[in-house]
Amino acid sequence: MEKQITRLCCKNQLWLVILVSFVFCFVLFCFDYSVLTGTQERVTAFVSNYENSNSAQKSKPVQVPENLKETSIKPMKTDYHKDSCLGRYIYIHRLPKRFNQELLDNCGSITVGTEHNMCPYLVNYALGHEVENSQGILLNKSWYSTNQFLLEVIFHYRMKKYKCLTNDSSRASAIYIPFYAGLDVSGYLWGVKTSVRDQSAFDLVKWLVEKPEWKKMLGRDHFLVAGRISWDFRRQTDNESDWGSKFRFLPESNNMSMLAIESSSWNNDYAIPYPTCFHPSKDSEVLQWQDKMRRQKRPYLFSFAGAPRPDLQESVRGKIIEECLASKNLCKLLECDYGVNGAINCDNPANVMKLFQNSVYCLQPTGDSYTRRSIFDSILAGCIPVFFHPGTAYAQYKWHLPKNYSKYSVYIPVRDVKDWKTGINETLLRIPQDRVMAMREEVIKLIPRIIYADPRSRLETFEDAFDLAVKGILERIERVRWEIKERKDPSIGFAEGDDYKYTFSGYVGEE
């Protein structure tokens, strides 16, 4: 009898174990299936319901709820796995050293059209030597004797510290070419055959097109940075007397984007700010400088730092200097002619900052080209820039300066000296004081956007000129990538000329 009861209990326990195991497996199976598919089913149902709505609603874009966004693509991906660099990865080509490092090693042979020896400017990550602040004009130790033509080197140092670099080019949204095009061509601009000027450009594109990264978008996701104006790379003929190289007219180069201190009228060139002498290493240094500029007393109505251009018949600089001298105490002039004292006056950042800090307005006519570094020196000093040609700023720095130019500057439209119809004094004195204060505040707010932070550090809350340039080029490449997905021709407009950039109409804020 006891054996029968024992057998019955064991039998019941066995069935109980089987039943519990079955229920556990069923629950486990249902739970796992819901995790893998439930989110996707909800997204599908959401979109399906939207597509079946009335015709008026169909014209609106699908607004997927926030809790369904990332998971509709990768259901198992949780927030703590989210890639903050997605869409921002950049791959740096490992170029042969002849295209960058060897140019620095042979800095003594580089010339920029003056008597400057470039080697001293390459110290401190190409920022130059620290500037002594004996006059108390500058603030903290963030000031350097930076050469305006070394942007490509400074940018490269910054890119090496970019937080979204990748060694896997298949993940990259953009491909950076660290070719020092400006330094390369600088040694061959005067009295050198065109074949010599163009050799590095031919060698570079030959190297690039053989790389697998090129084949992905035929170079339209590639970009480089030049420390000279874009026009120096757009020689349209092979005449020995013509200026510059033909780098940007090579078929392969047409598919790249170039960032330079001044853009040309072609759509694949983009202007980014000249490097100034202020390279802060932390946010507090920027804030302290901005506060100093807000408190600054400005005894001069306007000022000009520069030299006349008697060899340029259409230059208005001579007229500007005449008006400044005639204005006596209203205007202050800093002569920058490279004579006995000119270079000393204007190569010292303290002298330039002292002039601009004491001025309400800073005159910014064109020089040898449309743009000049003085634009950004004046903004840095909280001095309202006065422009005479839209190509000096409005057609140029669209990622860094406001589209509405009247918020931060004054525009006196003068094509050349023959068009001079108004006095600078009268024009500036007519501007109401409340507008002057508003423009100055806007200029001071622009300071973080036009400076390049020290490559050895990183600003925490501010986006500087480097950050905005990277953001701009990533957006440009993403638009091209979208056109390809939409089966459009990505070459349309990519490298076309656009002379409208330099006309005298069409800019927001124009009266």
- Residue 175 main-chain phi, psi, to 5 deg: -115, 120
- What are the pLDDT digits (tens) for 112-125? 555 568 899 999 99
Model pLDDT, residue 460? 94
3-class DSSP assignment, residue 469: helix
Take residue 16 and report the two structure tokens written for it: 């109980």
Query: 226 near 234, Cβ under 8 Å?
Result: no
Which residue's entry shows tokens 């003085």? Answer: 374
Q: How many angstroms separate the Cα of 225 from the Cα of each of 181, 259, 273, 344?
A: 8, 5, 12, 29
CATH of domain 293-449: 3.40.50.2000
Query: 412 near 386, Cβ under 8 Å?
Result: yes
Rg of the chain (C-alpha set): 30
Query: 265 near 499, Cβ under 8 Å?
Result: yes
Q: How many angstroms separate the Cα of 72 from the Cα of each of 19, 104, 471, 484?
A: 36, 50, 26, 23
Q: For residue 202, what are the contacts with CB-CB under 8 A and spacing of at least 6?
A: 250
Query: 301 near 361, Cβ under 8 Å?
Result: yes
3-class DSSP assignment, residue 143: strand
Residues shown for the chain:
511
The model carries a pTM of 0.82
Query: 194 near 240, Cβ under 8 Å?
Result: yes
- What stretch of H or E contains 50? helix 2-51
Where b means 16+ CB within 10 Å and e means fewer, 7-35 reads: eeeeeeeeeeeeeeeeeeeeeeeeeeeee
Q: How many CB atoms lie within 10 A of CB 440?
A: 20
Q: Provide the residue type at 235 as one letter.
A: R
* Residue 410 β-bridge partners: 386
Query: 335 near 307, Cβ under 8 Å?
Result: yes
DSSP state of 61: P
- What stretch of H or E contains 432? none
Residues 373, 414, 343, 105, Cα dihedral to 10°: 40
Angle of the 465-485 helix axis to the 151-160 helix axis, nearest 10: 80
Q: How many CB atoms lie within 10 A of CB 283?
A: 15
Q: pLDDT tens digits, the chain, 511 residues: what are they?
A: 444 434 444 445 555 556 656 555 454 444 443 333 333 333 333 333 333 333 333 333 333 333 333 333 333 343 446 889 999 999 999 999 999 999 999 998 887 555 568 899 999 999 999 998 767 899 878 999 999 999 999 999 999 999 999 999 999 999 999 999 999 998 887 778 999 999 999 999 999 999 999 999 999 999 999 999 999 999 999 898 899 999 999 999 999 999 999 999 999 999 999 999 999 999 999 999 999 999 999 999 999 998 887 666 667 888 899 899 998 899 999 988 655 544 557 788 999 999 999 999 999 998 889 999 999 999 999 999 999 989 999 999 999 999 999 999 999 988 666 677 778 999 999 999 999 999 999 999 999 999 999 999 989 999 999 999 999 999 999 999 999 999 999 999 899 887 766 665 555 665 4
Q: How many CB atoms lie within 10 A of CB 446?
A: 20
176/469 Cα distance (integer angstroms): 12
Domain boundaries, the chain: 90-275+456-486, 293-449
How far from the centroid of its chain's Cα atoms is residue 168's Cα? Answer: 24
Residue-by-residue DSSP string for 240-302:
TTS-S--GGGSTTGGGSEEEESS--SBTTEEE-PPP-SB--SSHHHHHHHHHHHHH----EEE
